[in-house]
Amino acid sequence: MEHRQAPPESGQQAAEPRATILIVDDHPANLVALEAILSPLGHELVMARSGEEALRRILHGEFALILLDVQMGDMNGFETASLIKQHPRSRHIPIIFITAVNRDAAHVFRGYSHGAVDYLVKPFDADILRSKAAVFIELYVRGEKLKLQERLLHQRERDAAERRSQERYRRLLDAMPQCIWAADAAGHVNYWNRPGLAYCGLQPADVHEESFWDCLHPDDRVDARAGWEAGLRSGVPFERQVRIKRATDGTYRWHIARAVPERESDGTVGGWIATATDIDDQKQAEEALRKAIILRDDFLSVASHELRTPLTSLKLEVANLSRIAQRNGGGESAPRLLAKVEKIDSQAARLHRLIDELLDVSRIAAGRLELHVETVDLAQVVSEVGSRFTDEAARAGSTLNVDAPAAVVGRWDKSRLDQVVTNLVSNAIKYGDNKPIDVSVASDEKNAIITIRDRGLGIAEHDHERIFGRFERAASSRHYGGIGLGLWIVKQIIDALGGTVTVASTPGDGSTFRVELPRYADKIRHPPPIAGNGADRARPSSVQPS
Ligand code: ADP
């Protein structure tokens, strides 16, 4: 911290002020005579040979007294005195007129009316002039001394106020939990706050040029130092995450270190203030969360695979069973058996979708969504999904009306589009309140549009965006099964294909989901890995055109 030079102590006296006398006379002989009379006073004497010269001198100097000859060639003494008295700078200077001739009262009176403090007629007694001059000089010197004392007093008050404010500033820095340093413009650290010293286990006397760098983790030193030196050169604030050793237990804790320049009034860097804030707990919590997310995703991935395998064979067996029941039909129990098999089949299919969704989540979250782009007829995809769901809709007491033109061709991933339409249609059946559902496909030159309209539950406006988030569900659907992943997956796929998916809905009056897809997207945009999802371990997602 900067240490100012101590102000003069209160007992210290200011130097004796010097006084200057201006002598104005157009006769050099008179000037010499006056000089001889006044020089024993020991003050400075300045000579002027005319009124004009006198005024010029007054403009550039400080005078305690003016001796002014009344009769002068260019401008007489009275005129000169009038001009002196008009100027704020010289108005207060006492003037003694000197004259050789005019003794009459009117003249003397005129002299006083022009601001003279005295009027001397030659020949005069040298001692009298000297002692008169000495009185005015004494008055002047006292006045100057007073002014000086006053200035000193103010200076002392200002210094004391500055000391108090520095003290307060220092106490404030010591009370802060961060480690704080101050450095000069060249980067030499000249101040540590108490918490900084305590953290690094240093006493003020132990601190040396390298102390700060010694406290840093060896792996962070080179980079931090390079950054700090670059900051010093450019005057740009510096920020780094660094590990600083805690003296109490010898552990290195993560800190965010910042240094900002202190600028002088002319904009130059006068010094630096650096702080280090402990972010170790925060960093550890982030790390723990990251690990937990990686574990969760690994678990989801493994568990889904494990669940999927027996389920696939179960589905196969159910399908066989169904075929056998149909072939051996005729018995009374056959329709009931068939109904049960169908129920098992539909439940197994639901379970299958659920597991597929879980698998997709871990894939997408890790940035591993794979798209196999090829020429696809969207109308055909939608019709196929429609036929697949006709029975399920009928079982729910609903009807599924599909309105698709002959063909809507584009470059897409067929199975992912199937997945999108499947999710939207199965939601329409689930939340459709057993009312008719309309699915349509349309296109223009550039885009294809799919709409899925149901007449059921509907979605409140404030949920319209939210339901496309991961694990997000509308409050209105809490009595229905579901885990809130279907729409998120839909959005990820549609985003990757360069399209949009939106919903328009009025609660109680159904929902219309609208998917708009460019038919020939320039580029597939892979959803980026989700932060903290073990993305660093992920393979890059890929497109495999066929
Ligand atoms: P879920 O498995 O919960 O159905 P989705 O991601 O498919 O998950 O949907 C997210 C949420 O959006 C649902 O929980 C529901 O609240 C709402 N939702 C989706 N489709 C519809 C719909 N057709 N009608 C009403 N709400 C819907």
What is the rounded distance in angstroms from the CA atom of residue 392 to the CA atom of residue 377? Answer: 24
Q: What is the CA radius of gyration of the chain?
A: 49
Q: What is the dihedral of CA 362, 367, 372, 375, to 10 degrees?
A: 110
> Which structure tokens are listed for 107?
């003249």
| Predicted local distance difference test score (pLDDT) of residue 538 | 35
pLDDT, position 495: 94
What is the chain's length?
546
Mean of the pLDDT values across residues 345-370?
81
pLDDT at 319: 80
Minimal CA–CA distance to 21: which of 143, 130, 115?
130
Alpha-carbon span 488 to 423, nearest angstrom: 10
290 pLDDT higher than 60:
yes
Asked whether residue 36 carries a pLDDT value surpassing 80, the answer given is yes
Contact 73, 109 (CB under 8 A): no
Mean pLDDT for the stretch of residues 281-303: 83
Which residue minimizes the CA distance to atom 2 of ligand 1?
A: 482
Distance in Å, CA 426 to ligand 1 centroid: 10
Q: What is the average pLDDT value for the chain, to the nearest integer? A: 86
| Least reliable range by pLDDT among 37-46, 257-266, 474-483 | 474-483
Q: What's the one-letter identity of residue 236?
A: V
Tell me: pLDDT of 171 over 60.
yes
* Centroid of ligand 1 to alpha carbon of 247 (angstroms): 55
The answer to whether the pTM exceeds 0.75 is: no
Instruction: Render pLDDT for 479-533 as a digit per residue (tens, 0 to 9).
Output: 887 888 899 999 999 999 999 999 999 999 999 999 999 999 877 777 777 655 4
Q: 425 C-alpha vs ligand 1 centroid, how far in Å?
A: 11
Distance CA 221, CA 37 (A): 78
The 10s digit of each residue's pLDDT in 135-152 is 999 999 999 999 999 999
- Interval 431-449 mean pLDDT: 96
Question: At 156, is the pLDDT very low, low, confident or very high (cuts 50, 70, 90)?
Answer: very high
Helix (H) or strand (E) segment spanning residue 504: strand 500-505
Write out the two tokens for 423: 């999710």
Token pair for residue 520? 């020939």
Residue 546 has pLDDT above 60, yes or no: no
The pLDDT, as a whole number, for residue 9 is 44
Tokens of 516: 């708009």
Q: Atom 21, ligand 1: which residue's CA is nearest?
A: 427
Report residues whose beta carbon is within 6 angstroms of any ligand 1 atom: 423, 427-428, 431, 454, 456-457, 459, 467, 473-474, 477, 482-488, 511
Tokens representing 36 are 């001889």
Q: Which two tokens stand for residue 142?
A: 């006292």
* Confidence band for 249, pLDDT divided at 50, 70 and 90: very high
CA of 486 to the centre of ligand 1 (A): 8
CA-closest residue to ligand 1 atom 19: 427
pLDDT digits (tens, 9 = 90+) for 56-110: 999 989 999 999 988 887 778 888 888 888 888 888 999 998 887 666 666 666 7
Ligand 1 centre and the CA of 484: distance in Å?
A: 7
Tell me: pLDDT of 206 over 80. yes
Cβ 440 vs Cβ 402: under 8 Å:
yes
Percent of the chain with pLDDT over 90: 55
Q: Could you count the other beta carbons within 10 Å of the beta carbon of residue 359?
A: 17
Residue 225: predicted pLDDT: 93
In the chain, the amino acid numbered 459 is I
pLDDT of residue 5 exceeding 50, the answer is no
Please report the pLDDT score of residue 104 as a whole number.
Answer: 65
Q: From the CA of 457, give the closest atom in ligand 1.
A: 25
Tens digit of each residue's pLDDT (9 = 90 or more) over 301-338? 777 777 777 788 788 888 887 777 777 665 656 677 77
Write down the pLDDT at residue 541: 37
Q: How far apart are CA 194 and CA 170, in angstroms?
A: 9
Rounded to the nearest angstrom, the gap between the alpha carbon of residue 475 and the centroid of all alpha carbons in its chain is 37
Q: Encoding tokens for residue 487?
A: 């729409």
| Cα 55 from Cα 81, distance rounded (Å) | 9
- Beta strands per DSSP E along 380-499: 400-403, 409-413, 437-443, 447-453
Burial class (CB in 10 A: 0-12, 13-18, 19+), 375: exposed
Please, which pLDDT band fits residue 3 given cuts at 50, 70 and 90? very low
The Cα-based distances of 168 to 6, 164, 175, 524 in angstroms read 18, 6, 10, 61
Ligand 1 pocket, mutate which of 361, 461, 477 (most atoms under 8 A from CB): 477
Q: What angle do CA 14, 15, 17 make, to 5 degrees?
A: 110
Share of the chain above pLDDT 70, in %: 90
pLDDT score recorded for residue 395: 87
CA of 496 to the centre of ligand 1 (A): 21
Q: Which of 418, 457, 408 is nearest to 437 (CA)?
A: 457
